[in-house]
Amino acid sequence: MRGNSRQGPWILLILLVGGSILGGWIGALLGHYYPGIPIIYQSQSVGLPTTTLDLQVFTLTLGFTLRFSLLSLLGMGLGLLAYRQL
């Protein structure tokens, strides 16, 4: 790595998330035009299911899910490469 010590971890996070979102969008678009190739658009979900805590005064709902596809992982890889070039 070159001078990444002056680049904050927020830049890396933004590039990884942005690359993942962009890759997911591209995968969904390609899946629409090429439905016969499911590896392009299929995704795997990982996370915690939605849980609701009702205390009569307020309700708290928590949940977290990540969906990964092949192209979203490729987008994350490109985001990492872009970060290393900074």
The label of the residue with tokens 């830049």 reads 11
Residue pLDDT, tens place only, 18-76: 999 999 999 999 999 998 989 888 999 999 999 999 999 999 999 999 999 999 999 99
**Residues 14-18, mean pLDDT to the nearest whole number:** 95
In the chain, the DSSP E strands lie at 43-54, 59-69
- DSSP annotation of 37 reads -
Of the CA atoms within 13 Å of residue 73, those in its CB half-sphere come to 11
- Rounded Cα–Cα distance for residues 39 and 24 (Å): 12
Tokens standing for residue 32? 């629409």
- Rounded Cα–Cα distance for residues 67 and 54 (Å): 28
